[in-house]
Each structure stands twice: as C-alpha cells, then as structure tokens.
Amino acid sequence: MTFDVNKLPGTQVNDYATVEDFRGVFTDSMDELYHLSFFLTADHQKAEQCFVSALEDSLKEVHVFKEWAHAWAKRTVIQNAIRQLKPYPLATSFSLALPPKVVPQPSDQDRHFDIDAVVALRDFERFVFVMSVLEHYSEHECSLLLGRPPREIREARARATVQLMNSRRTTLNSEVNLETVQEPAR
C-alpha cells in the first residue's frame, strides 16, 4: 500500500515548500544561516561548507510545509554541522550539582555574549550552547540531534554558561582597568 501525503484531506501540493521556497529562505536569511553555521563550526571555511551542504540537503526535501521551511533550513544547518564536526563530549564526570538555569532573553534584547568567547568553547559545549540558548532548542531536541543523553546536554550547557560568564567578567574587569588607566590626571 502506497501512502501519498498529497492526498490527505485538506493537504494540497502547494502547502509544501518547493525548491524555489528553500532558495528564497537561504537567500533571504543568508546572514542568519551563515552565522549559525559559523557559531557551530567556529571556522569560516567549515561554516561555508556547512551552509552549502544545508542548502543542497534542503533542496532535496519534498515534504516540508512552507511555513516550516525557515526552521527546517536552520535544522539542516545544525545537522550538517553535527555531521561535519561530530561534537561529542570529552570524558564527562557525573555531577549531582544542578547546573545554573539559563534563561534566554527575548530576541529583541542584546544577549551580551562575546562572539570570541562562544567560538572558543569546546565543540560539544558550543553546539549545546548555540542550539539551546541562542536557537531555543529544548534539552530533548538537543539530546536527539546530538545523540547524547539529556544529562550530558545539561552538563555541557552548564559548563558553557560558566565559561561564558567567566569570560564576561574578565572582559568587564579589563574594561574597568583600561578606563582607570586612561583617566586624565587632575
């Protein structure tokens, strides 16, 4: 028995994203999708490869609703970056401590994350941070995409958060020291 999605009641062929729809998504969101690729790979050449592979993969997809095309493009970028880098955690230690809760800020506010600090994270921590905090993927979605248990996702997010908070403190302390040094004599 063959199942034809286009023959479902209320579903029409034009409800699905076409090759042109995906080209439009990648053209209109090129900067956003490339930045996502770069944040994940931390390398411009790998980011470009990831972006191009994601475009190629998206153009092959035939059963994605038009309204999901943008989210699908982002997911395809993430999947390609995962395939390319294989970001698995180093030996992790079991911890009973609860990781700090990361509360994403609304998208209209500046997140105050230093790009260099995010890119400097280890691969696995960077993937988890970008996916869960910047892209708002759930712990469960991260776990499924990365093929790791939720505990490892929580621990990686906690390590990334701590490292980024420490980086932010160091940056703020450096700025305060620079202002103190650069004050004119009275």
Q: pLDDT for 128-180, tens place per residue?
A: 999 999 999 999 999 999 999 999 999 999 999 999 999 877 665 655 554 55
Give yes or no for a contact between 98 and 157, defined as CB atoms under 8 angstroms apart: no
pLDDT at site 62: 78
Higher pLDDT, residue 12 or 45? 45
Q: Is the pLDDT of residue 94 over 80?
A: no
Rounded Cα gap, residues 111 and 175, in angstroms: 18
The DSSP output letter for 14 is: G
Rounded Cα gap, residues 126 and 4, in angstroms: 40
Rounded Cα gap, residues 73 and 51, in angstroms: 10
The DSSP output letter for 121 is: S
Prediction pTM value: 0.76
Rounded Cα gap, residues 120 and 165, in angstroms: 13
What band does 114 get if pLDDT is binned at 50, 70 and 90? confident
